[in-house]
Amino acid sequence: MAQDLVLKQRCELLRDLCASGSSETLEKVADVLLARGELSWEDYTNVKVQGRSLYTNARYLLDLVYSKGETACQVFVEGLRQIQTPEEPGPVTGKLLAQRPGLVAELQSCLDGALEALLESGCFSQEDCRDVRFHLNTPSQQARRLLDLVSSKGDSAANVVLGYIEQRQESGGNLTTETTKPEELLKYQKKLRSSISAQSSFMSTYGGTGHMSLDDIYTDGQLELAHDCKDHGDLDLEDIAGAAGTVNEDSDTVLVSGDAGSGKSTLLQRLHLLWARGAALRQFVLLFPFSCRKLNSELDQLSVQELLFGHCCWPDCERDEIFRFILDHPNLVAITFDGLDELKQSFSDERRLCSPTQPAPVHILLFNLLQGSLLKGVLKVVTSRPEAVGPMLRKHLRKELFLKGFSPEGIDRFINKQHRDSSVASKVLASIQANTALLGLCHSPVLCWIVSQCHKELLGCGDGTPQTITDVYLMILQHFLQHQSPPECPRRPSWLRDHLPGILHLGRLAFQGVESSCYIFASTDLETCCVTDQDIWAGFLTQTKDISSHRGLRYEFLHVTMQCFFAAIYVVLSDNAKRSTVAELFELKYADFSNTCFGLCLSADQQRDMTEAPHLQITATFVSGLLSQRHRHLWLHCTPTPLVERKAQQVVRCLHKGMQKHFKSIPKPLEGEKSSMHAMPGFVWLVKCIYEMRESEIAEEALSKLEVDHLKLTYCNIGPVECTALAFVLQHLRRPAGIQLDNNCMGDVGVEQLLPCLHICKSLYLRNNNITDEGIRKLIAKGIQCDNFQKIALFNNKLTDACTQYVCQLLKTKQNFLSLRLGNNYITSEGAIQLAKGLECNHSLKHLGLWGNKIGDSGAEAIAGALEGSKTLVWLSLVGNGVGSKGARALSKTLKTCPSLEQLWLTENCITKDGVESLVQALQHNKCVKSVWLKNNDLSPEEIEEMTQKESRLLF
């Protein structure tokens, strides 16, 4: 009985289902079961849960089939057999199989045409077409389903599909899209393009200071795949819709995340403009841009159709046909949602909608679009600060891209675009480069824009250039306000007091907005907060560009961070603000749960908390800065000094308490083990607040109770700005510790910012951080002077042979240095020879890792020669370095003379039997080596067998 077999041969069946390592077999069997009615659609989707291991899915299927009884088991067993020994396909069906990947890609954009051809030829029934078009399938799944059905119908059906594709290719590839695009659609597309073009041609931040065209000012930011260690380099706008980095094929939502001010809205604006001109994302016939801050004010219930047409562009006629086109061709449509973190509601998938005509509150529509129950197959691009995206939404993401702001060259280009007068541009650049803290800040486009706007203040600045984010915003505050003052008295110390009423009006508006996630204000809101026309003219508020709005004038702050800054001023100045306002701002609930890794185990309520008011954190950072000793003079005569002092003490207490809370989360180390703290992003935020105050005693006090050996700050979105703050605080660590900063975006500027805390750093882990030789030069120049500094890991950066001269110096000078890991960089034999010179003179190194470079035989020979006689080296890795038998023979000599070596890693090289034999011989003289790893070298299975017999420490 088949049911019996499913039970008794479970292990074998499991192995068969998973043998290929891909879910192909499993999915095919599930297809058969679905087609034969043995699985419901729900069963079918449960079998293929993304993110669950293949084995778990396979076990689930076996349990399910067993529970469904004999017939299901029979279909399952037969189906599996058929898949394992497929019937000899006919010659044309075979072609279909051989070309399957290309066909899947091709068919996605012409599914309708192919189905029509199949229908006409009589090979497909309407039922087959419905099966293929099943609305929950993605376009690629639909294409696969079509091919499966065609294969099952034999050569004649296969002929029809191949003939259709061939004809389509001959006619230039756009047969379907071009021929089925109705006239009205083209008209609508034109209208949409011109409306988008009108909205996106100018930069909004320049509202108060003259319109600036996006073309003139747009500078590429650094766009990368989030959490991806592979070197894809910087991506461009087209990659947003491309395949790179896809983690979930079945989702259509792409997240572009980045800090406030990193340029997310500007990037979308650029994308919209290019699409409108037909210069980007040309595969999409329609594109609908949305701003979440604008969607907040939509109080009516809408259907998807009303949302798309009402908010973006209304078709002049044939509305239903155009909407039908969208439903029928989801792969030709894209929607963007800017600023998900500004939406009042946080993502939840509690209420599912399936019908595009069903009206619902806008946020429910949005959530259903993002998770794919509505307009499946339509590309959705959403931007947000990363902390505001909880795990519930993350599981619906196709991929995540991370926008990291400007590169150092980007800063250069941006400043040059801003100042046509090249002498001004070079003066501004020189003054930015002379102050590394400021240079760090300028990686953030919004700060770079401010600094560039305030070039006069910057260049003529008597009281030192800005060091903190608060300094930068104070500078622009002064800059804008002084535009209003007569030029003869530009630098009155009381500039803030002179403009106090207006600042307070804007502050109140900003604060109320931040509290209630409101970023667009109607005239009535302005009136409530007494904002006058003169306050508007100061330039911090700009009129909302909203062509489709009939709601009268509406305003927003130049940038959300500007709103947070005004909100912070309000918190500092106003005596109306509740006594508890400061404490509430720093409330730990906002700081605690913001790490997505930890967020996974939170309840839905907690997750909602976490994204409740994402801009409170930025406001709190400004409050810290504004209440620092350095800026106290500003508040004299603006508000009673005792009040300011009380608030400042409150901030210090909150920061201290927040830090303690993080430290309490450190698990007690087991006997003999090191204590380690994995910092959450909330920790980095606290550190940034402390830095804004720039008072060493506060930093010292905050760390006074921290006793850890290892501080882990991986994947914390740490760029140059955060590095400055970290160094400011961590230099007060009470004992040397390991600092792990892997997988952040520090770059060379970040490395330089970190130097002030290097003396307290035992080991520094900087894997995957975009560091170049220049960063290493600076790091080592300082590291050589730091006694405690003993280990460095630089895996997956941008290091070349040029860095090895510094490393060589480090090895020669520091005779207590223990571990050097340079894996996955660009070091060749030349660099290895340089390194060898350092190794010869070093008597302390225990670990040397060069995995994934290109040192080749001559590099290996140099390293091996330098290590001969080493009494300290325990671990050496030359994995994946193009090392052949020549290198292996040199390493054999090292083996004979290096009594301390325990592990030698030579996996993925091109060593032949000859080389391995010399290693075997050497091992006869060395009893300390525990293993020599040789997987994936040039040996036949028989040779591997023979060598393993000779020496069991060789591992293949």
Per CB under 6 A, residues contacting ligand ADP are 203, 205, 217-219, 221, 258, 260-266, 414, 445-446, 449, 559-560
First-residue to last-residue Cα distance in the chain:
43
The Cα 26–Cα 12 span in angstroms is 14
Residue nearest to ligand ADP (CB): 263
* Least separation in angstroms between CB 212 and ligand ADP: 8
| Closest separation in Å from C-beta 559 to ligand ADP | 5
**Comparison of 205 and 468: residue with beta carbon closer to ligand ADP:** 205
**Residue number, 108 or 269, with CB nearest to ligand ADP:** 269
User: What is the nearest approach in angstroms of ligand ADP to the Cβ of residue 266?
Assistant: 3
Query: DSSP letter string over 227-261?
Result: T--S------GGGGTSSTT-S-TT--EEEEE--TT
What is the token pair recorded at 385?
Answer: 């600060």
Measured from the CB atom, is 14 or 217 closer to ligand ADP? 217
In the complex with ligand ADP, which residue's Cβ is closer, 35 or 217? 217
* In the complex, minimum distance from the CB of residue 445 to ligand ADP, in angstroms, rounded to a whole number: 3
- Nearest to ligand ADP of 266, 563 (CB atom): 266
Provide the minimum distance between the beta carbon of 556 and ligand ADP in the complex, in angstroms, as a whole number: 11
Residue bearing tokens 């300011």: 644
Residues 748 and 752: their CA atoms lie apart, in Å, by 6
- CB contact at 8 A, 332 and 285: yes
Cβ–Cβ < 8 Å for 63, 55: no
Indicate the Cα dihedral angle 117, 119, 121, 124, nearest 10°.
120
Quickly list DSSP for 855-868: -HHHHHHHHHHHHT
Provide the minimum distance between the beta carbon of 448 and ligand ADP in the complex, in angstroms, as a whole number.
7
Residues 6+ apart with CB under 8 A from 229: 743, 767, 768, 796
- In this structure, the strands spanning 737-740 and 676-678 are unpaired
Q: Which is nearer to ligand ADP, 264 or 662 (CB)?
A: 264
Q: Which amino acid is at 294?
A: K
Nearest one of 91, 96, 90, 94 to 164, comparing CA atoms? 96
Shortest reach from residue 449's CB to ligand ADP, in Å? 4
Nearer to ligand ADP, 264 or 821 (CB): 264
Give the DSSP letter string of 447-515.
HHHHHHHTHHHHHT-SS----SHHHHHHHHHHHHHHHHS-TTSTT-TTHHHHTHHHHHHHHHHHHHHHH
Q: Looking at beta carbons only, is 258 or 775 nearer to ligand ADP?
A: 258
Q: Show the tokens assigned to 326.
A: 């969208």
- Nearest distance, CB of residue 877 and ligand ADP, angstroms: 40
Cβ atoms of 451 and 472 closer than 8 Å: yes
State the nearest-atom distance from the C-beta of 897 to ligand ADP, in Å.
57
Q: Shortest distance, CB of residue 386 to ligand ADP, whole angstroms? A: 11
Nearer to ligand ADP, 559 or 688 (CB): 559
Label residue 171 exposed, middle or buried (CB < 10 Å: 0-12, 13-18, 19+): exposed
Measured from the CB atom, the residue of 217 and 530 that comes closer to ligand ADP is 217
Range list of β-strands (E), 586-720: 676-678, 710-712
3-state secondary structure 325-342: HHHHCHHHEEEEEECHHH
In 283-354, which residue ranges form alpha helices assigned H by DSSP?
A: 292-295, 304-311, 319-328
CB of 692 to ligand ADP, least distance (A): 19
CA 158 to chain centre: 42
C-beta of 238 vs 701, nearer to ligand ADP? 238
CB of 186 to ligand ADP, least distance (A): 31
Which residue, 207 or 507, is less far from ligand ADP as judged by CB? 207
Radius of gyration of the chain (CA): 32
